[in-house]
Amino acid sequence: RTMYVIPFSMGPVGSTLSKYGVQVTDSPYVVASMGIMTRMGSPVLQKLSEGEEFVRCQHSVGQPFPLKAPLVNSWPCNPEKVLISHLPDTRQILSFGSGYGGNSLLGKKCFALRIASRIAKDEGWLAEHMLILGITSPQGVKRYVAAAFPSACGKTNLAMMKPSLPGWKVECVGDDIAWMKFDSQGKLRAINPENGFFGVAPGTSDKTNPYAMATISKNTVFTNVGETSDGGVWWEGLDPPGAGVTLTDWHGKTWKPGSSTPCAHPNSRFCAPAAQCPIIDPHWESEEGVPIDAIIFGGRRPEGVPLVYESFNWQHGVFVGAAMRSEATAAAEHKGKVIMHDPFAMRPFFGYNFGDYLAHWLSMQKRKAPTHLPRIFHVNWFRKDPSSGAFLWPGFGENSR
């Protein structure tokens, strides 16, 4: 196979909050996707030539030529021998046998969360599985919020929310990862280290997330979705295609509504440039980051957890994050409606010991320098009425409240 060398930056090139990486891969899909998800190319090479540190990312689909047997998949991978290894001490990632998103786009979860969380511990900052949004009141007061949710809890929908409250405005800085560091004044400042959105397609529609639909209208890579006979893409949650248009499922087989299998894989994805989002925040690429006033934790809890509450203080807030639970999802490895612990929405992404991680969060209130700690809240949009099984809260744009 051809080896591709990808120099990339997580965060705006030149920002003091950014970090650099180099990925070698034998997958053209990875090259195309990393070109969307990161800042890639010559400006980064320039930084590396100046001696900047970088994370070493090695990836192979694990199917060298000549093939020993015909491929059983639509694309090359080696599911029997998948190995994804992170070496935090030497800042290295080794990934073999998987062509899929998070396992092959090594700048994303592998670097920006697992390795970065360890770098953040060593350097005194935070690398978190959090969206970042700005919300402006009718009076023109703007606040930035970071929010941690496990997968399938509407993180992208919240980051691109269309508020139902008149006069309120939401703008998106990022939908998945936040790197946060205290500035000299003691304000916690956050950047979105990514350059694109790698979102779950099924359930994304003009009804649930009109801004995401506008974002993915061009320059977008789709993975494992259905295909329409007129050259479009389709997934569960979209309106049925027009008359005379037929569907092919993600396996390449003819598909009809009512089939026993889904048309798009439940974890199928779109990969789109963040700059195409109609409500991208004007400061989303600011080198110093945006000032965080509040941190929100949340999960999918059908019973017993209120719609919203605020922690008493920072220490209690860390406890709230540590005690997060949520119904399991397609992106995680478990099936069905098990309520699983997912502390800080980081269970799959911790780069070091969880006890040390909690101590690192708690240490933020003991900093020698001036420190303005954000307020911490917990939300649950997913509580159900025990008698009807229906959601008690309308969600989506109402979450602006």
Q: What is the set of active-site residues? A: 153
193 contacts 155 by C-beta, under 8 angstroms: no
Helix (H) / strand (E) element for 358: namely: helix 354-362
Identify which of 99, 90, 116 has the alpha carbon closest to the alpha carbon of residue 59. Answer: 99
Q: CA-to-CA distance for 79 and 61, rounded, in angstroms? A: 9
Distance of CA 39 to the CA centre of its chain: 16
Do residues 224 and 67 touch, judged by C-beta distance below 8 A? Answer: no
- Convert 340-359 to b/e letters by CB count within 10 Å (16 or more is b): eebbbbbbbbbbeeeeebbe
Q: Using the 8-state DSSP alphabet, how is residue 296 labeled?
A: E
Angle at Cα 112 formed by Cα 396 and Cα 347, nearest 5°? 65
β-bridge partners, 372: 187
The pair of three-digit structure tokens given for residue 134, joined into one six-digit string = 């700005």
Per the DSSP assignment, residues forming a β-bridge with 182 are 188
Per-position b or e across 142-181, b if 16+ CB within 10 A of its CB: bebbbbbbbbbbbbbbbbbbebeeeebbbbbbbbbbbbbb
Interstrand relation of 290-298 and 142-148 (parallel, antiparallel or unpaired)? parallel
- With contact defined as beta carbons under 8 Å apart, do 337 and 151 qualify? no
Torsion sign across C-alpha atoms 357, 331, 40, 235: negative
Please tell me the distance from the alpha carbon of residue 198 to that of residue 375, in angstroms, as a whole number.
28
- Counting every residue written for the chain, the total comes to 401
User: SS3 letters for 178-233?
Assistant: EEEEECCCCEEEEECCCCEEEEECCCCCCCCCHHHHHHCCCCCEEECCEEECCCCE
- Could you say which DSSP state residue 350 is in? -
